[in-house]
Amino acid sequence: MLIKILKKNIELIFWLTALLSLAIFNPASQIHFSLCVFKLLGVTWCPGCGIGHAISWLLHGNLHASFKAHWLGLPALAIIFYRIYSLILMQMFTFRELNLKDHGV
């Protein structure tokens, strides 16, 4: 049952985990683990890392540093929040439908 719930909510879990890790991550730190292939190869600039830093700066409340990291950070964060909101609404609607069917309504 738990595996079924996890599979059904994998995207929601992914986005929540990603935002939580960006909120915990210190964007000013130069020493951190990275999954970025470009960074692991020694490339110093990556647009994906820039957006990640921008979102992290936003979650830490620094709009200026966020815009300097990548100008699409704010729209990206808004889109991610909207996606999380829509996934939660979809789950609530599905749960409500299942609950009504169980009660014969």
Mean pLDDT by runs of 10 across the 105 residues of the chain is 82 95 85 74 81 93 95 96 95 70 59
For residue 46, which amino acid is it?
C
pLDDT on residue 68: 94
Cβ atoms < 10 Å from Cβ of 52? 23
Q: What is the pLDDT at residue 31?
A: 66
Residue 15 contacts residue 84 (beta carbons within 8 Å)? yes
Terminal-residue alpha carbon distance, the chain: 25
Residue-level pLDDT at 104:
59
Q: How far is CA 71 from CA 8, 41, 48, 49, 89, in A?
A: 33, 25, 12, 12, 29
**How far does Cα 18 stand from its chain's mean position?**
4
CB of 34 within 8 A of CB of 49?
yes
User: What is the pLDDT at residue 15?
Assistant: 96
